[in-house]
Amino acid sequence: MERNINLIDKVNVMPKGFYQSLRTIWKKPKENLGDILRTRLAEWRKQNVVVRAEKPTRLDAARELGYKAKLGYVVARVRVKKGGRRRRKPEKGRGPRHAGLVHFTPKGLQWIAEEKAQRKFSNLEVLNSYETGDDGVSKWFEIVMIDPNHPNIINDPKINWITNPANRRRVFHGLTSSAKKSRGLN
């Protein structure tokens, strides 16, 4: 009996790694980051919709999605307005109650953010993205992008698949993770 209690205590007291502790902090960002997150969001609201970030805000999420701190990798922060798109009211026919005018969302917000980043940085390719914050009006995503013409990317066997012309502008073909999820494939 005593032996089992000691094992349980050791399991609960195991030291966490850096990325694991970052992941637990970002599970409840408003509780754990509080003032830091609030000041960041205030700064981000004043910035443009698509901004190139110096480094990832959530290093654990970026690394998990394929980001490496070397030349050829770029992180872009994108602001997207929350809520769905509203359809036009039909001029004739059925009443607006059954027309499906509101609560109409053709794509996920994350996919929309990836497309905005792709349009801004047309020479780069979207690898993946993750959420960094939200308020009552907007959501912010950070998009990991890759330069397919950079020598570091061309010579790296793990990521040089993105240099293939078939993968050009893959976000618009619905091939990123969030696009597949929005299409119901994941």
**Which bin fits 174, alpha (ψ -120 to 50), beta or left (φ > 0)?**
left
Structure-token match 């047309």, residue found: 122
Alpha-carbon distance of 142 to 98, in angstroms, equals 37
Q: What is the CATH number of the domain that holds 28?
A: 3.40.1120.10
pTM: 0.83
Measured CA distances, 6 to 13, 17, 93, 151, 175 (Å): 11, 22, 72, 53, 48
Which one is predicted more confidently, 9 or 57? 57
Q: Per the structure, how many domains does the chain have?
A: 1
pLDDT band at 15; cut points 50, 70, 90: low
pLDDT band at 106; cut points 50, 70, 90: confident
Measured CA distances, 161 to 51, 108, 168 (Å): 26, 26, 11
Q: Residue 32: pLDDT above 80?
A: yes
pLDDT digits (tens, 9 = 90+) for 128-184: 999 999 999 999 999 999 999 999 999 999 999 999 999 899 999 999 999 999 889
Is 142 part of a structural domain of the chain? yes
Alpha-carbon distance of 164 to 157, in angstroms, equals 12
Decide if 101 contacts 94 (C-beta within 8 A).
no
The domain containing residue 174 runs over which residues? 17-86+94-182
Q: Residue 119: pLDDT above 90?
A: yes
Is 6 part of a structural domain of the chain? no
Alpha-carbon distance of 171 to 154, in angstroms, equals 20
